[in-house]
């Protein structure tokens, strides 16, 4: 049985590998490039994205997806933002200016600190395979089948800072600096890491999303 | 503890996975697809495909190889070799590449780095530095300066390939890897020269974020898991050292 998923393609970065990974996990994927009223009936919605926050938001607006995502969030059906797709769920970002986000979750997106906890500079972008640490309970969430010690792939220079502690689902430690790695509120999920590029662990995350 | 990705590097010529053995020329290893799948299954953190000939008439061939690989592989894929324009980048991205490595074209036209970074994000733009020891005697400063400049232009990563060390199994070019790691704040991947597990401790000390391995994997001299276990023992934080999941 296939699970229908709508993936938003808003012209930044490359959605192809998200699509392939979802299909591999049993989804039948519909890719949309312009918002239409029918998209609100999607049973699951995925917002991927790499690149800059400001570019992403202006593309979302130009294509009518800002309104669509905000309304979809109210339906209670599962939503997943990946990387920049997660970042735009928040109120705004400091990346290259001051940009408003979709405001689905309270909080801001800020630069990953340029130094580790010891005050020594570390590499930016933050790229690599890291272990997820629970920030709230994973039972029943997209991370429920991630085992302790499992690693996922990150590549980013900015990260969300959710206002509400309980919205944080997982953090990742970057040289002693805790970075928000996943968020969850009701039907809304976001991953800073790339589940579509995180081998078996990432595919388990996507399968859980399809099973919500 | 420094985290490092262990990257399987596949040099492609026409339909074949090949390996250059320094001073001995090229040898065909086999089918790139089979090898890519094997490295993925064995826990490679990333796959790096480099088209070593990169002549125009072979481009379709490379994108077919990437398409087939990306259809079954769920770790990052970087593609390099002969990428000269945004159209080339777009073709590779639509075949399934997550990042592109650009070398020659960026020397001729540095603005290409900025264009790619703007369109696909800095994290998709890898500046690929290839050099020879002989060249380094004269241009060592250039490699470091070029790495710096590429980062200013928007490269999100540096891939440093030693042509002379490649396939020699004599160890990485540590002084130059160190210089580049010190010169830029973006992640640096060292490629060329891995031969013995002892090389891992030496390269770990430079602060590299990625180690590309070809030869040792292609000829099955060492398995990825074994390399990762040794990397962990050498003080690197690596995925799957305890057994690949």
Interface predicted TM-score (ipTM): 0.95
CB A210 within 8 A of CB A7: no
Asked whether residue B189 is domain-assigned, the answer is: yes
Q: What is the mean pLDDT of residues A136-160?
A: 96
What's the confidence (pLDDT) of residue B171?
A: 83
pLDDT value, residue B243? 52
Closest CA to B73 of B89, B97, B52: B97
- Residue B245 lies inside a defined structural domain of this protein: no
Using a CB-CB cut-off of 8 Å, the residues of chain B touching A11 are none
> In the A/B pair of chains, how many CB contacts fall below 8 A?
94
In chain A, whose CA is at the least distance from the CA of B43?
A199
For Cα atoms B220, A131, B10, give the angle at the middle one, nearest 5 degrees.
Answer: 30
The rounded distance, in Å, linking the Cα atoms of B189 and B78 is 12
Number of structural domains chain B divides into: 1
The chain-wide mean pLDDT, for chain A, equals 96
- pLDDT given at position B35: 97
| CATH, residue B167 | 3.20.20.70
Nearest CA in chain A to B184: A123
Res. A187: pLDDT tops 50:
yes
Q: Does residue B145 sit within a domain?
A: yes
Closest residue to A125, CB basis, from B40, B96, B186: B186
Flag if B120 and A150 touch (Cβ within 8 Å).
no
Residue B186 inside a domain? The answer is yes
Residue B165 has pLDDT above 80, yes or no: no
Average pLDDT on B146-170 reads 83
A151 touches chain B (CB under 8 A): yes
> Would you call A200 an interface residue with chain B, using a CB distance cutoff of 8 Å?
yes
- Residue B202 domain-assigned (yes or no): yes
Q: How far from A150 is each of A80, A172, A200, CA to CA, in Å?
A: 20, 12, 10
B244 within a domain of the structure (yes/no): no
What's the distance, CA A134 to chain centroid? 16
Residue B209 placed within a domain: yes
The residue with greater pLDDT, B22 or B182, is B182
Catalytic residues of A: 83, 194, 196
Closest approach of B239 to chain A, Cα-based (Å) = 6
Tens digit of pLDDT for each residue in A66-102? 999 999 999 999 999 999 999 999 999 999 899 999 9
Residues of B in contact with A151 (CB under 8 A): 239-240
**Smallest Cα–Cα separation from B15: which of B39, B41, B33?**
B33
Q: How far is B163 from chain A (nearest CA, A)?
A: 25
Under an 8 A CB cutoff, do A16 and B96 touch? yes
Return the bridge partners of B18, or none: B11, B28
Asked if A203 lies within 8 A of B74 by C-beta distance, the reply is yes
Residue B227, domain extent: 2-239
- Do residues B169 and B193 touch, judged by C-beta distance below 8 A? yes
Inside any domain, residue B127: yes
Residue B71 has its nearest CB partner, among A20, A125, A150, at A20
Q: At B168, is the pLDDT very low, low, confident or very high (cuts 50, 70, 90)? A: low
Range with lowest mean pLDDT among A147-156, A174-183, B14-23, B212-221: B14-23
Query: Is the minimum CB–CB distance between A176 and chain B shorter than 8 Å?
Result: no
The dihedrals phi and psi of A166, each to the nearest 5 degrees, come to -70, -15
Tell me: the pLDDT tens digits for B94-141? 899 999 998 878 878 889 988 888 888 777 777 777 665 433 444 455
- pLDDT tops 90 at residue A189: yes
Q: Does A96 touch chain B (CB under 8 A)?
A: no
C-alpha to C-alpha distances, B41 to A9, B8, B194, B225, B243, nearest whole angstrom: 30, 12, 21, 11, 12
Q: What is the pLDDT of residue A113?
A: 97
Q: Is the Cβ–Cβ distance between A105 and A162 less than 8 Å?
A: yes
Chain B residue closest to A148 (CA)? B245
Mutation target to probe the A interface, by most A beta carbons within 10 A, among B41, B69, B74, B238 is B74
Q: What is the dihedral of CA A117, B4, B49, B17, to 10 degrees?
A: 180
Whole-angstrom Cα distance, residue B206 to residue B185? 13
The pLDDT mean for chain B works out to 86
pLDDT in tens, B27-82: 899 999 999 999 999 999 999 999 887 655 556 688 999 999 999 999 999 999 88
């Amino acid at each position: 049985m296939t699970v229908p998923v709508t993936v938003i393609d808003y012209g930044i970065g490359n959605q192809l590998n998200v699509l392939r990974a979802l299909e591999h996990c049993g989804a039948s994927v519909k890719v949309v490039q312009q918002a239409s009223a029918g998209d609100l009936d999607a049973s699951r919605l995925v917002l991927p994205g790499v690149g800059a926050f400001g570019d992403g938001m202006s593309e979302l607006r130009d294509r009518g997806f800002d309104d669509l995502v905000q309304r979809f969030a109210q339906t209670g059906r599962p939503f997943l933002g990946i990387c920049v797709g997660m970042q735009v769920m928040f109120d705004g970002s400091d990346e290259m200016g001051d940009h408003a986000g979709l405001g689905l979750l309270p909080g801001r997106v800020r630069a990953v600190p340029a130094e580790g906890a010891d005050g020594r500079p570390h590499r930016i972008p933050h790229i690599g395979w890291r272990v997820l640490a629970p920030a709230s309970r994973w039972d029943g969430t997209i991370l429920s089948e991630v085992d302790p010690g499992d690693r996922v792939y990150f590549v980013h220079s900015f990260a969300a800072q959710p206002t509400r502690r309980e919205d944080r689902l997982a953090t990742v430690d970057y040289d002693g600096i805790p970075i928000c790695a996943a968020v969850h509120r009701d039907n809304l999920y976001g991953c800073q890491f790339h589940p579509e590029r995180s081998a078996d662990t990432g595919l388990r995350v996507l399968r859980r999303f399809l099973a919500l | 503890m420094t985290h490092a990705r262990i990257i399987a590097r596949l040099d492609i010529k026409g339909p074949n996975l090949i390996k250059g053995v320094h001073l001995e020329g090229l040898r065909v290893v086999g089918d790139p697809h089979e090898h890519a799948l094997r490295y993925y299954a064995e826990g490679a953190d990333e796959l790096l495909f480099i088209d070593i000939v990169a002549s125009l008439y072979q481009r379709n061939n490379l994108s077919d190889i990437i398409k087939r690989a990306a259809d079954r592989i769920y770790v990052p894929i970087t593609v390099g070799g002969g990428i000269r324009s945004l159209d080339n980048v777009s073709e590779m991205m639509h075949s399934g590449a997550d990042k592109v490595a650009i070398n020659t074209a960026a020397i001729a036209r540095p603005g290409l780095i900025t264009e790619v970074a703007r369109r696909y994000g800095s994290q998709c733009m890898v500046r690929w530095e290839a050099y020879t020891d002989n060249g380094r005697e004269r241009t060592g400063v250039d490699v470091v300066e070029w790495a710096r400049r590429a980062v200013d232009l928007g490269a999100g990563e540096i891939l440093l390939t030693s042509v002379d060390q490649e396939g020699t199994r004599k160890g990485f070019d540590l002084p130059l890897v160190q210089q580049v790691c010190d010169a830029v704040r973006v992640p640096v991947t060292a490629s060329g020269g891995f031969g013995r597990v002892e090389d891992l401790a030496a390269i770990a000390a430079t602060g590299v974020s990625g180690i590309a391995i070809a030869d040792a994997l292609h000829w099955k001299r060492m398995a990825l898991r074994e390399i990762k276990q040794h990397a962990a023992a050498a003080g690197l934080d690596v995925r799957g050292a305890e057994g690949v999941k």
